[in-house]
Amino acid sequence: MVQLNKGKFKGRDFITLNAFTAEEISYMVDVAMELKADRNAGIPHPVLQGKVLAMIFTKSSTRTRVAFEAGIYQLGGSGMFLSARDIQLGRGEPIQDTARVLSRMVDGIMIRTFSHQEVLDLAEHSSVPVINGLSDFLHPTQILADLLTIKETKGKIQGLKLTYIGDSNNVANSLLLGGSKMGMNIVIASPQGYQPVPEIMDLAWKNASLSRSTVQIVEDPVAAARGADILYTDVWASMGQEEQSEIRKKIFAPYQINDEVLGAAHPEAIVMHCLPAHRGEEITDKVIEGPQSVVFQEAENRLHAHKAIMALVM
């Protein structure tokens, strides 16, 4: 059974990877790897026996919900799904009141929501750890699973080149923060007007200077892909941006991971996507189903990464 060194993590919120050191992130990845190995070997690890995780969802979900709900059960605890329709938060109760009430009843709170400020407000007023399952600004739990996938397939994280192609959304933001912390060379290929905000870039450049890595923004996706060890993409219009879908399809049409882009990357490059994918838009069916795709390994690793987060902070 995996042995947890919880001293640095117990009781901490998991809102952004930027709140953790490279050593701490590396340890979380290693814990996730051990938990995965234990599960595959049939070894139980009920390290959260009797613990309860409240899971607030104002955004629909497949991977986040299943990973957290199955994960807390596999760790010996229980998960409580709370949609906006089910709790008073959806009827106007202040987030700080919800935080204070839940904190007295559960051992951890996961929230997947639109507004990042809601995550921050929840954490400010909660006395138990808060996990950011996704906001409009960051998606750190996804990126921990991505780092696990990269280490599994490449044997290391530091020094690799990761090229993200498409909309600079919450996933791109968290890739910039987590990747730069871990010493990866990050290239973002996005059109003007859809590139990372200065707040994220300033943090990423600061991280990169400490980890001796590089962070770049370019507009040419093929140039960005040259020599890349990892190609990564996401949908062009995230949840809540559906009304922009048609205009985004025109703007992002050149920003597709296809044979040309894959051909520019390192011959042993892997292809990643956080899912759900719009096949034929940001990625071709041939690439996502091809031998260099690790998309479904990446999706499975959400379970193991989320278990590592819960086991450590709860």
Tell me how far CA of residue 147 lies from CA of 68, 116, 169, 311, in angstroms.
18, 22, 18, 18
The one catalytic residue among 146, 229, 273, 274: 274
Please give the pLDDT value at position 223: 98
The yes-or-no answer on residue 302 being catalytic is yes
Positions at the binding site for L-ornithine:
170, 234, 238-239
The one catalytic residue among 65, 107, 125, 142: 142
The one catalytic residue among 65, 234, 273, 306: 234
The one catalytic residue among 65, 302, 304, 306: 302
The one catalytic residue among 65, 139, 248, 273: 139
How far apart, in whole angstroms, are the C-alpha atoms of residue 120 and residue 15? Answer: 8
How far apart, in whole angstroms, are the C-alpha atoms of residue 246 and residue 250? Answer: 7
Task: At 136, list the tokens.
Answer: 């409009």
CATH number of 142-299: 3.40.50.1370
Which 3 state secondary structure label does DSSP give 159?
Answer: coil
Task: At 275, list the tokens.
Answer: 């899912």
- Region of 69 please: left (phi>0), alpha (psi -120 to 50) or beta: alpha
Please give the pLDDT value at position 90: 67
Sign of the torsion formed by the C-alpha atoms of 33, 29, 230 and 111: positive
Tracing tokens 């590139």 back to the chain, one arrives at 195
Please give the pLDDT value at position 1: 60
Positions at the binding site for carbamoyl phosphate:
61-64, 88, 112, 139-142, 274-275, 302
Domain ranges of the chain: 17-139+303-313, 142-299
Name the class of domain 17-139+303-313.
alpha beta
- Cα-Cα end-to-end distance for the chain: 18
Helix axes 295-313, 140-154, angle to 10 degrees: 120
Which 3 state secondary structure label does DSSP give 134?
Answer: strand
If 0-12 CB within 10 Å is exposed, 13-18 middle and 19+ buried, where does residue 306 land?
buried
The residues, ordered by sequence, that sit 6+ positions from 2 with a Cβ below 8 Å of its Cβ are 31, 34, 35, 38, 45, 47, 311
The one catalytic residue among 13, 65, 107, 112: 112
The yes-or-no answer on residue 229 being catalytic is no
Positions at the binding site:
61-64, 88, 112, 139-142, 170, 234, 238-239, 274-275, 302
- Region of 257 please: left (phi>0), alpha (psi -120 to 50) or beta: beta
The yes-or-no answer on residue 142 being catalytic is yes
- Provide block-wise average pLDDT over 10 residues at a time, the chain (314 residues): 76 98 97 97 95 95 97 98 83 90 98 96 98 98 98 98 98 98 98 97 98 98 98 90 89 98 98 98 98 98 98 97
Task: At 55, list the tokens.
Answer: 């899971």
The yes-or-no answer on residue 139 being catalytic is yes
